[in-house]
A and B are shown apart, each in its own frame.
Chain A
Amino acid sequence: MLIGEILNVDLDGDGRADGFQISVRNQFFHGSHPLGWFRDIAVTVDGETLPPAQTYLGLRGQLFRCDSLRSILEVFWKEREIATILVVRQHGLSAGPHRIECSIGTSVQTYTRALDLFDVRERGTLVLEQDFEVSGEMIALRGLL
């Protein structure tokens, strides 16, 4: 599910990296779910787990803070759709190899247009791990934060 390359991002247009982003394709069975179905998204870089409050899920030009997804019922991450996970981190990532781990909590609740607000159903966690080579390339993402 982790795809493509990892890129540093310039969020304020000053020419310096303020974070990085990775791409994730939704490969879940019955894949379309509201964002509240995907909880506890956490990114770990080289063994360091980054603060959820600085981690965002990006979909169709919109950013959602990963620790605020719980009640979002009417924005869906669709089957096979590529989302970005953006981490705000001063200076982004240094050039060179990095081990990235991304964990995504999910639910077995099966009503597509309802969220298990009270954690009645069992939950699962999908952990994605991949080695990336970070280049010096950086993209500008002004206007999102």
Chain B
Amino acid sequence: MNIASRLGASTWSIEGLLLQGGNSVERQIELIASTGAEIIDLPEYHLGFDPHPNLHRLHTIRDTIKANGLELSGIFFHTDLVAATDFYSAEKVIADLQEYLAVAGFLGAAAIEISNGNLIPSLSEQEARDRLLPIYEAIIPTAEYYGVVVAINAARPLTVSAFKSPESALGIVKEFDSPFLRVTPDFECWRITREGMPTKYVEAPNAVRGLATPLEVFADCLPYARRIEAKLYEFDEDGNEPNFPVDELMAMVEDNGAAFDISIEYEGWVPEIHPERDAYEETVKAVQLLQRYGLGRNRGGSK
């Protein structure tokens, strides 16, 4: 494994604890640090994008990340770019993304993580793509200015979403071939269908989960990726995750040889899976699983 690769987790991994008990963002950062993570991902709503962050608050969060020995890898913004151009305008979408990049730059984040979103009924796939490309063209210079990568999250198989799939995100990234526009392959696309696991998606409840994406698509994404999202749900007695071909995916990461930020999204805490399990303890298991592949430093796993 490239020694410059970094391993960490999103606070989403312990979001269930926040919903139950109201942990502060500062406490969530401390918890992620204590899992052994070296990087952290934050969602937009922890930074006060409601609608605009408080600068003093951003200072506090930046200081808290540093004080806990972490580096900020990605900020996850919930976007639906094509639809938003229809509801509002491309100019509004570009302005939003520019603000996101500016804040990410201030916080020292490596990337903002965004989603193309899904098609809308009034547009063909080509028309939607024609709306997406000028948005990326407009924000790449801003990304360069702030030194922050725009990472297109690819978390859905092509059979479920034309624009959230690795294949479609990769197509857009290749169109520009900029180090500031990258694809983020999400393990979710390679999830093995298993009985008892969710087959639908929150943002598309009528869409039944499609077949897993071919493994070679993961390898295709890596030359155009800065980050990898490691969605994980549960661990057996040996600490293995039965829902994903983790060995195969991590072998491809090693074969590629480049340095990546690998960010865990433990999501077994949702009501449909294992709400009874301690999300923190499970996140520690997730970190330990990926440390087996030579990632990260072993900083423990103690609250």
Residues of A within 8 A of B (CB): 27, 29-32, 34, 73-74, 76, 78-80, 108-118, 120-122, 124
The smallest beta-carbon distance between A114 and chain B, in angstroms, is 4
By a CB distance below 8 angstroms, the chain B residues around A114 are: 80, 83-84, 87-88, 92-93
Q: How far is the CB of B78 from chain A (nearest CB, A)?
A: 5
Give the A-binding residues of B (Cβ under 8 A).
15, 18-19, 22, 43-45, 49-51, 77-81, 83-84, 86-88, 92-93, 96, 115, 117, 120-122, 202-206, 270
Asked if A34 and B87 make an inter-chain contact with CB atoms under 8 angstroms apart, the answer reads no
Residues of A within 8 A of B121 (CB): 120
- Point out the residues of chain A lying under 8 angstroms from B120, CB to CB: 120
Report the 4 A-B pairs with minimum CB-CB distance, sorted nearest first.
Answer: A76-B50, A32-B45, A111-B80, A114-B84
Q: How many contacts between A and B, using CB within 8 angstroms?
A: 81
Q: Are A108 and B84 in contact (CB under 8 A)?
A: no
Cross-chain contact A110 with B79 (CB below 8 angstroms)? yes
Bound Cα distance from A33 to B65, whole angstroms: 25
Distance between Cα atoms of A20 and B79 in the complex (Å)? 37
> Smallest Cβ distance from B206 to chain A, in angstroms?
6
A110 CB contact (under 8 Å) in B18, B80, B87, B122: B80
Using Cβ atoms and an 8 Å threshold, which residues of chain A touch B93?
114
When the two chains form their complex, are residues A112 and B87 in contact, meaning their CB atoms are under 8 A apart?
Answer: no
Q: Please give the distance in Å from B15's CB to the nearest CB on chain A.
A: 7
Q: Is the CB of B49 within 8 A of A118?
A: no
B91 to chain A, nearest CB (A): 13
9 more contacts with CB within 8 A, not counting A110-B78, A110-B79, A111-B84, are A29-B19, A29-B270, A73-B51, A76-B51, A112-B44, A112-B49, A115-B87, A121-B80, A122-B206
**A9–chain B nearest beta-carbon distance, Å:** 26
Enumerate 14 A-B pairs (CB-CB under 8 Å) in ascending A order. Answer: A29-B15, A32-B45, A32-B49, A79-B18, A108-B202, A110-B115, A110-B117, A112-B44, A112-B79, A113-B49, A114-B93, A120-B83, A121-B83, A124-B205
Q: Which residues of B contact A108 (CB under 8 A)?
A: 202-205
Q: Decide if A111 touches B205 in the complex (CB within 8 Å).
A: no
Residues from chain A with a CB closer than 8 A to the CB of B92 are 114
Chain A CB within 10 Å, residue with most, of B22, B50, B51, B117: B50
B64 → A minimal CB distance (Å) = 18
Question: Distance in Å from the Cβ of A56 to the closest Cβ of chain B?
Answer: 20
How long is the Cα–Cα vector from A109 to B84 in the complex, in angstroms?
10
Complexed CA–CA distance, A34 and B78 (Å): 13
CB <8 Å contact, B51 and A78:
no
A122 touching B205, Cβ below 8 Å:
yes
Asked if residues B50 and A32 are in contact (CB atoms below 8 Å), the reply is yes
Alpha-carbon gap, A87 to B81, bound state (A): 37
Contact B87 A79 (CB under 8 A): no
Q: Are B51 and A74 in contact (CB under 8 A)?
A: yes
Give the shortest distance, in Å, between A3 (CB) and chain B (any CB).
Answer: 12
A4 to chain B, nearest CB (A): 15
A28 to chain B, nearest CB (A): 9
The CA-CA distance from A116 to B84 in the complex, in Å, is 8
Complex CA gap A15/B238 in Å reads 66
Q: Measured between alpha carbons, how far is A32 from B48 in the docked complex, in Å?
A: 9
Nearest Cβ in chain B — how far from A119, in angstroms? 10
CA distance A30 to B50 in the complex (A): 12
| Contact between B86 and A120, CB atoms less than 8 A apart | yes
> Which residues of B have CB within 8 Å of A116?
83, 87
With contact pairs A115-B87, A116-B83 given, residues A110 and B45 touching in the complex (Cβ less than 8 Å): no
Chain A residue, CB-CB nearest to B84: A114
